[in-house]
Amino acid sequence: LERMGARPLTAELGLGLFDQALASDAALLAPAWLDTAVLRAQARAGTIPAVLRGLAPVPTRSVESATVALRDRLTGVAADEREHIVLDMVRAQVAAVLGHASATAIEPERAFQDIGFDSLGAVELRNRLTKATGMRLPATLVFDHPTPAEIVRLLLAEFGGVAAAEPPIEKELNRLEDMLAAIADDERRHVADRLRRLLSFVADDGEAESAAERIEAATSMDEVFQMIDAEFGEA
C-alpha cells in the first residue's frame, strides 16, 4: 500500500477524520493519507490510477510510444529470442511488484498466487505491464493468465510472436478423444451414457435429445466420434 502511495493512519488522525466525516454532508467520503511524492513518481511513470491523477498532474503523454518501442525491439528477432525478451520484461515487472532485487527470483511457470500476489499486487502488475507495453490490459489479467509464462504468451500473440495458447477446454477435448480411441468394447455403453449427458449441457433440449438418440443407436465408437465431429466440427 505504501508503494502505491497510501500511508497508514494513526489512531488520532483516524478519529479526527471520522469526526470530520460526521459533520460533512458529502454522500461518500474516503479518509486516506496519501503520499504525494509517491503519486508524483507514479504520474511521471504513467502508472498513477486515473482517480488520483488530479492530485499529481503531469503533461499528457501518449502510451503509444511504449507500444512502438516494444514492437521495434521485437521486429526482425527470431521467435525464440522474442519470447526471451518478453519473458525478461514480464519477470522484471513481477519482481518489482514483489520487491525482489532480481528478476531471476521469478519462476515463469509458477502461479502468481503461489509467489505472494494479492489483489493489490495484481492491479500493480497490470499497471506496470500496461505502461511497459502500451497495451490495454484487463484488471483481471493475473487471474485470466495466472503465471508469468501465460502472460508472455498473451503478449507474444498480440505482437505477432506466437499463436495464443490452446484454450483449456480444447486441450481436455483432445485428451478425451485420445482416451476414447483406446476404449474397451465392454465400456462402450457407459461411455455412450456419459456422452449423452455431456451433450445435454451444450445443446438445446431438442438438440440434446436428438444427439442422445443417435448416440444410443450407435453400434461402434467410430460412429460416436463421427457424431461428435458433426456436432462440434472436426478437431
Query: 195-215, pLDDT tens digit by residue?
Result: 777 777 666 555 544 555 555
Q: In a 3-state reduction of DSSP, which class is residue 7?
A: strand
Residue 33's DSSP bridge partners are 7
Cell 503523454 sits at which residue? Answer: 61
- Identify the residue with better confidence: 222 or 33: 33
pLDDT confidence of 162, banded at 50, 70, 90? very low
Mind listing the domains of the chain with CATH numbers? 6-55 (no CATH), 64-158 (1.10.1200.10), 168-232 (no CATH)
130-144 pLDDT, tens per residue? 888 878 888 889 989
pLDDT score of 226: 62
Instruction: Give the residue-averaged pLDDT of 86-115.
Output: 90
Query: What backbone torsions phi and psi does residue 203 show, to the nearest 5 degrees?
Result: -135, 160
The model's pTM:
0.51
Amino acid at 2: E
CB 190 within 8 A of CB 223: no
CB 38 within 8 A of CB 3: yes
In sequence order, what DSSP letters do the residues of 17-67 get, joined into one string?
HHHHHHT---S-----EE-HHHHHHHHHHT-S-GGGGGGS------THHHH
